[in-house]
Amino acid sequence: MSLSDADRELVTAEFGREPTAAEAALFENLWSEHCAYRSSRPLLSAFDSEGDQVVVGPGDDAAVLALPTPEAADAPAAERDADDYGDTYVTFGVESHNHPSFVDPFDGAATGVGGIVRDTMSMGAYPIGLLDSLYFGGFDRERSRYLFEGVVEGISHYGNCIGVPTVGGSVAFHGGYEGNPLVNVACVGVTNEDRLVTATAQEPGNKLVLVGNGTGRDGLGGASFASEDLAEDAETEDRPAVQVGDPYAEKRLIECNEALIDEGLVLSARDLGAAGLGGASSELVAKGGLGARIDLDRVHQREPKMNATEILLAESQERMCYEVAPDDVDRVAALAERFDLGCSVIGEVTDGNYVCEFAGDAEEPEAVVDAPAEFLADGAPMNDLPSEPPSEPDRDLPDDEPPLDEAVAAVLAAPSTASKRWVYRQYDHEVGTRTAVKPGDDAALLAIRETEGEEESAAAADGVGLALASGANPKWTAVAPYEGARAVALENATNLAATGAVPLAAVDCLNGGNPEKPDVYGAFEGIVDGLADACSALDTPVVGGNVSLYNDSVEGPIPPTPTLAVLGTRRGYDAPPAALDAERAGDSELLLVGAGGDALGGSEYLAHTGGSDRFPTLPDDSGAADDLDGLVASLAAAARHESTLAAHDVSEGGLAVALAELVTDDAGVDATLPDRVAAFDETPGRLLVQTTDPGAVAAAAGDLPVFRIGDVTTDGTLSLSVGGESVSLSADAVRDHRDVIERELA
């Protein structure tokens, strides 16, 4: 860790002296790209983050949202007013743990889960669901498989041990992640107005109490490590920067946090993540316009002879910093002891500077940090970086296309398109008894009962279904950063619509390469603007997020990757399945709701065949919908209609893959499409709907185009005719193609 010359000059000018070694290290971490968003913050004002549903927006550990009442849960946010929201709040946040997961995939991914769960806890919420969006190099590469297996194992181990279900997410494979995988994890929690806590310190004289695991030397300088390109020797040289998790301690911390909140003992809170104790405590008091005096010798430690910088900046896991009234300190300590957690009263809130004292082996302590808290937390200057706009791809489709059966098989078996059952079967996705729609469908659906903590009522309609989806498509954003990011937002919203839900809010994890490269920064600008514009068109506030830059390695920069996690609501939690109903085959039809974009840019089909194309035209550009929020509301209404038997969105792999995914052993599809663009175009904003009343579904879809796509059969076969060619695949054959990941890793 070393403070840059330019930053050192700023600090020296502010102090009128040279910074101490501990101060220099603290500034280097808090002013790093990972913590200060020096290259991205100037762009983030593009996002809309306000709405009647937003209780706490960007800037805290997690956003807080008011859920609509069951009666208002189906209505788009634009049609609700403040009176339509009830007393139940949910928290929503997302984090990245990219660099650590390359160095140590198990611990890197596991501690990413732990961190986002503690962000949830620090708002006074109980964590109820996790989503993970994962990105790796080519699945045929041994290194990629090693990272993939380690990351999934780390997520499953930590999540399963703490009893928080992993209910959804995404996995993508792309050559651009060969030297730098991405691990983005989102968490949703539940709370209410009485239990709500923020990270804003309240009053001088209150105590700062550290609760949780002992502080060690693991994760030292993790924030600065995450703000630089990965070197060739990162696996060995940067191992000390990776935290080591203890999920059983986290579980005890979750329950202790609940007890502290129940008794009203917490005035403000911050979890210890990036920049460790120094980051959490300085940011806590800075948000309140206050200061602190901290005695580093009081911090409970698990390693001997730690110096001030190590205590201040180690990112040891499973630790929380609480602001507590002086009279409540003993009760906090008693609860920590009940849950077998360490507890230290490390200092107090003041109205002065942020001061840390340390004695170590010396007879008298000395001030190793003495700085204005707001200067530490918010004083980093922003970067003004040059950018180059990305070039538009030409339309150059392959002249010699493979036979249809080969093309369909290749797209079905592509690792990014294939079944992710190998991943989610390792996760406990039902703990907590809320999971109404499990992983494997378009979106997860969690049950929020009308009266939390009581027995579920007999009618599922008496509660609110909380729909969750997350992910990004690197093939889309590599071809067209702006258009691809807009498509990512629409795709995640369409996933919610397939369950009958409409968006409530979103959080984003913006991943890019080295922003000092103009072409990389230009592509990053594109994904920010594309995501912001689409979320505005969806009337979906972006209420929080994370930025991860410098995802570069000796292999080159990653594709610009705008992971979006979207949360939506519907009345009840009885969603249509993403599989055909064989028993109603004779009296039902299969409809396509929504229009394609008539292009193959960014598609899995072109990834297999070669060639290039423009990115598909999205519905709001083509005149197929006046606005994206109206489009998604219409799709959700079609999915919720009482005649709907099944609903499934069209995305990666296009209609060919979406139709295949609907097939079961008992129910098949006989469909005809005009050409390969229609078969493999990946335009989002479309649903396949099996219905017993096509006219009623078309009416529910409003102005969206509705096409009869084919017949539902009882032979369990995908029969597809495209431009005069035909392919027929049994349900077993479809599964065989789609189970490539499970088969290869068994």
Cα pseudo-dihedral 255, 256, 262, 265, rounded to 10: -160
Give me the catalytic one of 34, 99, 641, 737: 34
Q: Can you tell me the distance from the alpha carbon of 437 to that of 435, in angstroms, rounded to the nearest whole number?
A: 6
Q: Can you tell me the distance from the alpha carbon of 406 to that of 729, in angstroms, rounded to the nearest whole number?
A: 11
Q: Can you tell me the distance from the alpha carbon of 141 to that of 179, in angstroms, rounded to the nearest whole number?
A: 11
Q: Can you tell me the distance from the alpha carbon of 312 to that of 346, in angstroms, rounded to the nearest whole number?
A: 12
Q: Give the burial class of 367: count Cβ atoms within 10 A of its Cβ; 0-12 exposed, 13-18 middle, 19 or more buried.
A: middle
In sequence order, what are the residues at sequence separation of 6 or more whose Cβ sits closer than 8 angstroms to the Cβ of residue 687?
494, 497, 498, 592, 593, 594, 635, 638, 639, 647, 648, 649, 650
**Helix H or strand E segment including 591:** strand 589-593
Q: Can you tell me the distance from the alpha carbon of 273 to that of 95, in angstroms, rounded to the nearest whole number?
A: 11
* Residue listed under structure tokens 């903590």: 453
Beta strands in 340-451 (DSSP E): 342-350, 354-358, 366-371, 435-437, 444-448
**What angle do the packed helices 404-413 and 731-738 form, to 10 degrees?**
50
**Strand 319-324 and strand 291-295: pairing?**
unpaired
Per the CB < 8 A criterion, the answer to whether 20 and 369 are in contact is yes
* Residue listed under structure tokens 């008011």: 66
Give me the catalytic one of 97, 99, 641, 648: 97
Q: Can you tell me the distance from the alpha carbon of 709 to that of 731, in angstroms, rounded to the nearest whole number?
A: 19
Q: Can you tell me the distance from the alpha carbon of 364 to that of 359, in angstroms, rounded to the nearest whole number?
A: 6
Catalytic, 157? Answer no
Q: Can you tell me the distance from the alpha carbon of 453 to that of 431, in angstroms, rounded to the nearest whole number?
A: 15
Catalytic, 648? Answer no
Per the CB < 8 A criterion, the answer to whether 398 and 51 are in contact is no
Alpha-carbon dihedral sign for residues 298, 299, 300, 306: negative
Q: Can you tell me the distance from the alpha carbon of 196 to that of 261, in angstroms, rounded to the nearest whole number?
A: 9
Kindly report the backbone phi and psi dihedral angles of residue 536, in degrees, each rounded to the nearest multiple of 5, phi listed first: -65, -45
Q: Which positions are catalytic?
A: 34, 97
